Structure 1
């Protein structure tokens, strides 16, 4: 998932549409406050506007980095050396001056993810998930998943040890609340995923049911 923090709503939407068309999941925020409440939950990359209405993107990234180490590309309308130096001083992976080409930005995103993706797979026992490549392996063998199955597994593995409710999963994976879908949407997807990753789907050892609450990977 790529986090987009950009106060210009038209640009924010354009970035979201471009990235999703390219196959990325996104989460968007328009202010520093909104970003701090929404992000820091396992994003693969952040796109951060340096000039935000309630603070600057550099201090925002410093706060988010306290929760997890995430690659970042800064976006700014200012083409000043001191801004670039300040961004790189806190660990920026790249820096893009507006206006920019979406095609060029996508290439820069690919380059940053390639540099960072190999070093940070998500693992649990013999299951490995590579976010940058959207690949899953069980005992070294690649497992082919649908988009929703992959997103669900990634969400569970990003939150190992935590119980995720049906409502949590519907909001994160489908972007909707439970009232708009059939009641067994999540359980059907979990069932299909178990058949692909569990040694015995009837006695799951990876994706556990937590009675009356939801699902969990890990203790």
Structure 2
């Protein structure tokens, strides 16, 4: 899967240049020239990084950065070489790094690679053949993406964040459904676990990935990887 970059700049020449540089470097690229289009597009495109100009119509880049931070999307700010105040403010509101215009192509790619490598380590969990991409809300098993409902992904996400540790139905009830007490809660957990197994297990009756440690709870693992 290619890493995705969202380019946000109202200068079409800059957008075209960045698109050329980034696609040649192997990235998938989307773009917009308006600040008020960034957050909706980021929710749809799920970029690994946003390259963001400060001076934008709709919303300024400085207004957009906090919206992207809320989406756990890293931001690389583009700024004019003579606007140190913009750079400082952009970093203060949550941008990861900056590049001044005009930029060196090689330096830009190195900065992009560094940011994506760092953030992916934090947001991708690998458990044997299981890959959970928390920011993109994606589950892959043996390289194949599995389509999940939002609730199913929240279950997988919580189990992945507590990998190799059994999680009780009561804990899942609290963390996934935000419920302290719920009469039908335990049954709802069982139903969702059963549905998940049908989607992810080669043989749901003999789970390989989503196993139950009786008396302790559910465990996300890869039993074929355990020695």
Please say whether Structure 1 and Structure 2 have the same fold, judged by a TM-score greater than 0.5.
yes
Unpaired runs of 5+ in structure 1? 163-196, 206-219
Partner of 1:56: 60
Q: How does 1:1-80 map to 2 (within 5 A)?
A: 1-41=4-44, 42-66=46-70, 68-80=71-83
Counterpart in 2 of 1:92?
Answer: 95
The alpha carbon displacement at 1:3 in A equals 1.2
Tell me: CA distance 1:14–1:92, structure 2 relative to 1, closer, same or farther (3 Å): same
2: CA distance between counterparts of 1:26 and 1:161? 29
Structure 2 gaps, min length 5? 154-198, 208-227
Structural RMSD (CA): 3.6
Larger radius of gyration: 2
Structure 1 partner of 2:223: none
Between the two proteins, the alignment pairs up a number of residues equal to: 154
Quote the residue 2:110 is aligned against: 107
Q: Counterparts of 2:91 and 2:85 in 1: how far apart (Å)? A: 10
Q: Is this contact kept in 2: 1:40–1:64, CA < 8 A?
A: no
Q: Which TM-score applies when normalising by structure 1?
A: 0.58
Give, in angstroms, the shift of residue 122 of structure 1: 5.7
Cα distance, 1:74 vs structure 2: 0.1
1: CA distance, partners of 2:58 / 2:132: 36
For the 8 Å contact 1:124–1:157, the answer to whether it is kept is: no
In the alignment, the residues of structure 2 paired with residue 69 and residue 158 of structure 1 have an alpha-carbon distance, to the nearest angstrom, of 20
